A and B are shown apart, each in its own frame.
Chain A
Amino acid sequence: MNSEVAAFFSPGDFLAILPEMVIAGMACLLLLVDIAVPRTKKCVVPALAVLSVAVAAWFSYELAGSGVSAFSGMFVLDGYSDFFKLIFYIVAVFAILVSLRYIRTEEIDLGEYYVLLLFSLSGMMIMASGTDLLTIYLGLELASLPVYALVGFLQKSRKSNEAAMKYIILGAFSSAILLYGISLIYGLTGTTQLAAISAALVTGDVNGPLFTLAVIMLVAGFGFKVAGFPFHMWAPDAYEGAPTPITAFMAAGPKAAAFAVIMRVFLEGLYPAYDSWQMAIAAVAVGSMVVGNITAILQTSIKRMLAFSSVGHAGYALLGLVAGSEEGMASVMFYLFVYAFMNLGIFGIVIMMRKDSQSGDQISHYTGLGKSNRLTALAMLIFLFSLAGIPPTAGFIAKFYVFMALINKGMVGLAVIAALMSAVAAYYYIRIVMLMYMREPEKEFALASSRGLLCVLIIALAAVVALGVYPGYFIDLARYAAFPL
């Protein structure tokens, strides 16, 4: 009996999930800490949360490159998962820092907020490392459930509750579709381990209609998680209703995690069936770029606009997956890395605009910002140009890399569509620049800056510029992480 247990779990397995254990354990602990500390000392909880992310990051750094496969091949530590965990750590820390003042302004200053963020972080980490559909599914749910609650965290706001309700219904619906697809894959290949699925696809004859159905369901299920067209309906509502730091977190963190999973599932598990999913993903990618970017033009709320823009960005990133090459993967990873900074940066400014009665939710609220708050407007300008993909910002390099991967595989048509859509996207981004710089302000701006927020903005800005001018190191990192897969 003992030897059998030992075959399943070795102490090394627990070493491999040490960072995840730190995050999940600290999340549990913080619930108790939150009760213990007095109301006036609430900053202890976020401080400990940041600390636990730092500790987990340190463990991840120590474990990096070990290539351990733990729990009978259900969980792996490779360059790929390390790269994504790096993104998640950054996003989580940034999300905590930008929340500090915001949640006081909104009077939702509860310790649970940070606890839920940490739980979601641990879920994302499991997603990045999962190599079995079971671990991937569990990670996915662990990452999503806290976010559902966080979206509805503004208990008194009707919008927030509504957003959470829509999000959880559509999220659960998509999980059900995804699970059905997984069950079909399991039935057809007899396994849920990605490597074994891949092997079964090579040897067995599983290209029946049932397999196609399974692939479509997987695409649909994952499509929901990355908010790709036509599964993006939840995104604008959830983005608009959620507390802004959570919107920023959702757009950068769980979305990147969903990409981590998609790439692992499709490029490792289902790669032998590349021909059967390539078209489906390409259709989702093109649809996302077209619909996301064109609908974004029509928006008046900045959070909805950024939601549609993130649909468009998901489309670009999916193109890297369509390319189906290692370069394509590396390009997606680099894209997500850059997107995390741009996204946190621009939402950081939206958060800054929320003070007292001023909401900063509407695009028109930014009218004339360039006149009164030069540095803030300049930062916003750089983030917007980066989102639009204008050099010399990081957003350009990210798009460039995706184009390289596509054209290298001869998919010039898709590259041309993507290029044209980024010209469309430029329109709504520079429209905000125009409002900021070329119109007179309607009223005085009061900005709710805090040290945490400024810190995030400065780092994000530096990263966007530095990755735009000297991207070499991180491209190599993404390649190194993508190539063994």
Chain B
Amino acid sequence: MSGHLLSSIIFLPVLGALVLLFIKDARAIRWVALVTLGVDFALAIPLLKGFDVSTHGMQFVERHAWIPSWNITYYLGVDGISVLFVFLTAFLGVICVLASWKAIEKKVKEFMIALLIMQAAMLGVFSSLDMFLFYLFWEAMLIPMYLIIGVWGGPNRVYSAIKFFLYTLAGSILMLVGMIALYFAAGNTFDMLVLMEHKYTFAFQIWVFMAFFVAFAVKVPMFPFHTWLPDAHVEAPTAGSIILAGVLLKMGTYGFLRFCLTMFPDASRFFATPIIVISIVAIIYGAFLALAQKDLKKLVAYSSISHMGFITMGIFLFNKNGIEGAILQMFNHGITTSALFLCIGIIYERTHTRDIGDYGWAASRVPVYATFLFIFALASLGFPGTNGFIGEILIAFGAYEVYKPYLIVLLMGILGGAAYMLYMYKGMAFGADSHGHDGHGDSHGHKVWDVDFREAIALLALIVFVFWVGFHPEDFLGYMHESVGNLINQATASKFEGLGL
């Protein structure tokens, strides 16, 4: 069992999807999906427990011959960075099912199958050590995500789905070309560990870095490539938004860590300053746009762009604090943004509006909900004691070591974050309640009730992580110390053999 732990985690959802094919009752379908992902999450716990934090090597390695003609193997393994994301993905999977319990009414079976397949592909991306396998999972995510947005999304879903699909496909297909170039440069192998060790010429690094960069920057999304994100978020169903914000965006930054920094360290350093600059632009720009939004989902979507700016900046600082902060922040963003989307989804189910102006009564009518929302808003803006604080402070330390004026920008970003989150919370909870509702419904006459048991479970589970990371970050940072140390060694070593331009 333990020898195939990663495979079990990846393919259990596929098995669940196959089982779902033969079930007709919508209620049973939901339960099977929940149990599958629950077991999947339970499997991820021994993964964390059994992980040896004293080494940076790959663990839980599985390797089998797959396509011998191309020297491609089925090669899985996790290090201190990816293990956290496998865990996060497995955890958010359960939240996704809970979030779609009532929100998805039509084609429940198809939705759950898409969700499970999506889950498998995402887990696969984080645990692949063969680049071909990685790409296979990476692209395989497109199909279910496209369907989740396009079939179960909002009114403008078709446009958003196609935009999402084409953006990410165009980005990743260039990565494919870069990947094959790497394959031949390193002597016919897709083994990521071998590719990391190999030395490439500087010119080669620059070209392949750019091919990979586009793919990852679209996924993150970084500043000029971000336009698909607000559309996709607004139209996606809640579970889709959670997957997008919680996991998909992390794949871009994970890609930077796993490929760009380790395989093309010289090119990464060469491009570090421009990337930090566009990260800063994203931080400020995202914050300002978030402040200007009336639509709740758009607000959180733009806040994601801002937060992801912190993360890309942290990665390209090339020091321990910056990178550890970035990784922790990736985890945190997965928790808090998912929680915010879940909160939005919960209230949207009742009122069918996402316009902040339609609310203002949350504190009085749904106090429990308002409390949850408040905690997540604080976590998102980086209030001390919550997870967001730790991540941001680490990135700030890292930035300080590199170039002090970065701190000013970071501070502006943090202030901006506080501004839009509090603006949103005020709008939701304490806004001018001018509509004079009758005490049972909202201004449009929808019946409003506070969080129910199912929703409370999901929110509480998320809150556990908010404070766990907030008060005891070492439990999470401990996993990454060795791996990040190794990563920095790789990223700061000069690897190229002459210019070769």
A residues neighboring B (CB under 8 Å): 374, 385, 390-392, 396, 400, 403-404, 407-408, 412, 415-416, 419-420, 422-423, 426-427, 430-431, 433-434, 437-438, 470-472, 475-476, 479
Contacts and interface: CB of A to CB of B under 8 A. Distances in A.
B289 to A, nearest CB: 27
B288 interface: no
A211 B146 CA distance: 51
A427 B169 CA distance: 10
Interface in B91-139: 110, 135-136, 139
B211 to A, nearest CB: 8
Contacts of A434: 150, 158, 161-162
Contacts of A479: 69
Contacts of B70: 404, 475
B173 A391 contact: no
B27 to A, nearest CB: 20
Given A426-B169, A472-B69, A392 B181 contact: no
B186 to A, nearest CB: 13
A407 B158 contact: no
Interface residues of B, number: 32
B59 to A, nearest CB: 26
A457 B435 CA distance: 59
Given A400-B180, A419-B176, A423-B173, 13 more contacts: A374-B110, A385-B143, A390-B143, A391-B136, A400-B176, A407-B177, A415-B180, A416-B174, A423-B169, A434-B150, A434-B162, A437-B147, A438-B161
A255 B92 CA distance: 48
Contact of A419 (B140, B166, B177): B177
Contacts of B170: 420, 423
B66 interface: yes
Contacts of B161: 434, 438
A98 B173 CA distance: 35
A427 B166 CA distance: 7
Interface string B182-196: 011000000000000
Contacts of A408: 184
Nearest to B68: A472
21 contacts: A385-B143, A391-B135, A391-B140, A404-B183, A407-B180, A407-B181, A407-B183, A415-B177, A415-B180, A419-B177, A420-B170, A423-B169, A430-B162, A433-B146, A434-B150, A437-B151, A438-B151, A470-B66, A472-B68, A475-B69, A479-B69
Contact of B181 (A412, A423, A433): A412
Interface centre among A385, A422, A433 (most CB of B within 10 A): A433
B20 to A, nearest CB: 13
Given A407-B184, A415-B180, A420-B173, A390 B139 contact: yes
Contacts of A396: 136, 139
B142 interface: yes
A471 B170 CA distance: 25
A56 to B, nearest CB: 29
Contact of B165 (A392, A416, A420, A430): A430
Identify the 8 closest CB pairs spanning chains A and B, nearest first. Answer: A423-B170, A419-B173, A472-B67, A407-B180, A391-B136, A475-B69, A391-B139, A415-B177
B157 interface: yes
Contacts of A426: 165-166, 169
Contacts of A412: 177, 181
Contacts of A470: 66-67
B213 to A, nearest CB: 15
B106 to A, nearest CB: 10
A458 to B, nearest CB: 15
Contacts of A433: 146-147
Contacts of B147: 433, 437
A430 B158 CA distance: 11
Contacts of B142: 390
A385 B165 CA distance: 12
B172 to A, nearest CB: 9
Contacts of B68: 472, 476
Interface in B286-327: none
